[in-house]
């Protein structure tokens, strides 16, 4: 039942656009889900894409616009007039409309807002614009179904029907008092099974999970996951019900956050995709590579300080990439575990205990790896002292790398900085430098040079 774009189908669409056969096009596309229409628009060139958006009903294109690849959406919006964008926004949920406005240049956004006809809708959208993107306020939509606690069951059923028209999925009916303060919630079932003249106050469930407009997106997602919620109401500073966050937005949020963390850990600093331009990809990748370059130059400078040893102890220099690589690997492992622990909110105990545990862990790994390395180097070089120096240094480097990997994300988190920043190239680079310095210092001490 799912739709897959075939090459033939896409060619058919293109031919119909070329020949301006709008009747046939409408006929084909109105059968499709908006997500499929979006998939088609993503494959078209700008001119064709705009043709389709202008051809189809805003009811369909407004939803399709939200599903487009961000770059393609930017281009399409750029080709539409403020009035045309406003027409699309009229059909959108308030949260989607606010997201679109946030993507537009300020002056265009202003023009679009002034073209909106439905005043309540416009007011709701503008209201959403003032919240931070990564907060419950920025994630919520204004669309919800609410009833007054002082109404009776009958009184509110008709009112509720009218409200539900604008709401795609009802999930819960929220109960408020005369000041719009959130008092509880109702299920449709409760409403339908209660006598007609019961006051809402008596049927509503007073216990309701909620978040405030300022609650962070991570916290909203944690709460919704923990309690398996499909929607959560959002209140303002005065406990007034102002919106709700639905699970589909949280699914998108979780996916985006996971991608961002994964990219940060891989040394990619902006949200890019494989299909982005070489220029965009370079902007996201080059800064981390430059950091790596600086780190490598630092390592070379440190090694340069020990260059007088190179003739007699050449073998020490052969193992520097190994030391750097192991320091990097251990650091990345340690930081990844801490970053995930922070994200899942399941780190227990103090930083001190955390570091102690990491030391024990690094000692266990370090001993095993050092023995393996000693066995190899002694077998290959037959020099006891050099082999001992190299493997002992590895042991020390692993412990320090583990500590740095554990400490840095914890420290960043304490200061309110995203700990994921500390993973990947940052840890690898700093551990490379630390590692090589420690390596030479210990080797020098053991060999006695």
In the set 16, 29, 247, 443, which binds a copy of itself (CB under 8 A)? 247
> Using CB under 8 A, which residues numbered 176 to 235 contact a copy of itself?
188, 207-210, 223, 225-228, 230
Q: Of 77, 71, 85, whose CA–CA distance to 115 is shortest?
A: 85
Regarding 325 and contact with a copy of itself (CB under 8 A), the answer is yes
CB-nearer residue toward a copy of itself: 151 or 317? 317
**Enclosing H/E stretch for 235:** strand 231-235
Regarding 329 and contact with a copy of itself (CB under 8 A), the answer is yes
Q: Which residues contact 149 (CB under 8 A, 6 or more apart)?
A: 175, 176, 177, 183, 184, 199, 200, 201, 204
With contacts defined by CB under 8 A, name the span among 19-27, 101-109, 141-149, 419-427 that binds a copy of itself. Answer: 419-427
Classified as helix, coil or strand, 206 is coil
CA–CA separation, 235 and 101 (whole Å): 23
Kindly state the smallest distance separating residue 358's Cβ from a copy of itself, in Å: 9
Question: CA 38, 63, 125, 232: dihedral to nearest 10 degrees?
Answer: -110
Kindly state the smallest distance separating residue 109's Cβ from a copy of itself, in Å: 25
> Using CB under 8 A, which residues numbered 113 to 172 contact a copy of itself?
169
CB-nearer residue toward a copy of itself: 119 or 189? 189
In the set 340, 383, 388, 396, which binds a copy of itself (CB under 8 A)? 340
- Number of chain residues interacting with a copy of itself (CB under 8 A): 103
Concatenated DSSP letters of 433-445: HHHHHHHHHHHHH
CB-nearer residue toward a copy of itself: 208 or 396? 208
In the set 45, 114, 255, 270, which binds a copy of itself (CB under 8 A)? 255
Helix ranges (H only) for 44-118 are 46-55, 58-67, 70-79, 82-91, 94-103, 106-115
CA–CA separation, 109 and 87 (whole Å): 13
Kindly state the smallest distance separating residue 210's Cβ from a copy of itself, in Å: 6
CA–CA separation, 404 and 438 (whole Å): 13
Regarding 354 and contact with a copy of itself (CB under 8 A), the answer is yes
CB-nearer residue toward a copy of itself: 83 or 169? 169
Burial of 349 (C-beta count, 10 Å sphere; 0-12/13-18/19+): exposed
Regarding 347 and contact with a copy of itself (CB under 8 A), the answer is yes
């Amino acid at each position: 039942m799912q739709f897959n774009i075939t090459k033939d189908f896409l060619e058919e669409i293109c031919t119909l656009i070329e020949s301006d056969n709008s009747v046939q096009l409408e006929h084909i596309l109105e059968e499709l889900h908006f997500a499929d229409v979006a998939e088609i628009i993503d494959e078209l060139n700008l001119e064709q894409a705009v043709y389709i958006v202008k051809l189809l009903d805003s009811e369909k294109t407004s939803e399709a616009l939200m599903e487009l690849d961000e770059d393609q959406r930017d281009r399409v919006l750029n080709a539409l007039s403020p009035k045309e964008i406003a027409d699309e926004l009229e059909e959108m949920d308030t949260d989607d409309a606010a997201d679109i406005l946030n993507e537009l240049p300020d002056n265009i956004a202003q023009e679009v807002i002034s073209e909106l006809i439905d005043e309540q809708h416009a007011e709701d959208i503008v209201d959403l614009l003032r919240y931070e993107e990564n907060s419950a306020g920025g994630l919520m939509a204004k669309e919800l179904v609410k009833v007054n606690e002082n109404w009776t069951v009958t009184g509110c059923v008709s009112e509720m029907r009218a409200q539900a028209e604008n709401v795609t999925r009802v999930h819960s009916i929220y109960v408020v008092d005369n000041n719009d303060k959130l008092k509880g919630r109702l299920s449709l079932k409760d409403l339908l099974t209660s006598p007609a003249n019961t006051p809402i106050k008596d049927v509503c469930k007073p216990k309701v999970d909620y978040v405030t407009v300022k609650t962070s997106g991570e916290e909203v997602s944690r709460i919704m996951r923990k309690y398996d919620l499909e929607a959560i109401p959002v209140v303002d500073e005065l406990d007034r019900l102002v919106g709700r966050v639905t699970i589909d937005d949280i699914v998108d949020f979780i996916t985006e956050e996971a991608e961002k963390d994964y990219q940060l850990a891989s040394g990619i600093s902006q949200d890019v995709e494989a299909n982005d331009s070489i220029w965009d990809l370079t902007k996201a990748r080059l800064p981390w590579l430059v950091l790596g370059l600086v780190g490598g130059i630092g390592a070379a400078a440190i090694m340069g300080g020990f260059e007088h040893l190179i003739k007699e102890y050449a073998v020490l220099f052969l193992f520097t990439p190994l030391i750097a690589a192991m320091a990097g690997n251990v650091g990345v492992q340690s930081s990844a575990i801490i970053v995930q622990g922070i994200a899942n909110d399941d780190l227990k105990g103090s930083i001190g205990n955390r570091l102690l545990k990491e030391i024990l862990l690094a000692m266990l790994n370090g001993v095993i790896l050092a023995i393996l390395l000693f066995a190899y180097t002694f077998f290959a070089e037959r020099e006891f002292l050099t082999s001992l120096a190299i493997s002992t240094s590895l042991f020390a480097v692993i412990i320090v790398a583990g500590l740095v990997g554990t400490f840095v994300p914890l420290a960043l988190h304490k200061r309110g900085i995203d700990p994921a920043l500390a993973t990947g190239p940052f840890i690898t680079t700093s551990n490379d430098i630390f590692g090589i310095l420690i390596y030479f210092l210990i080797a020098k001490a053991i060999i006695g040079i």
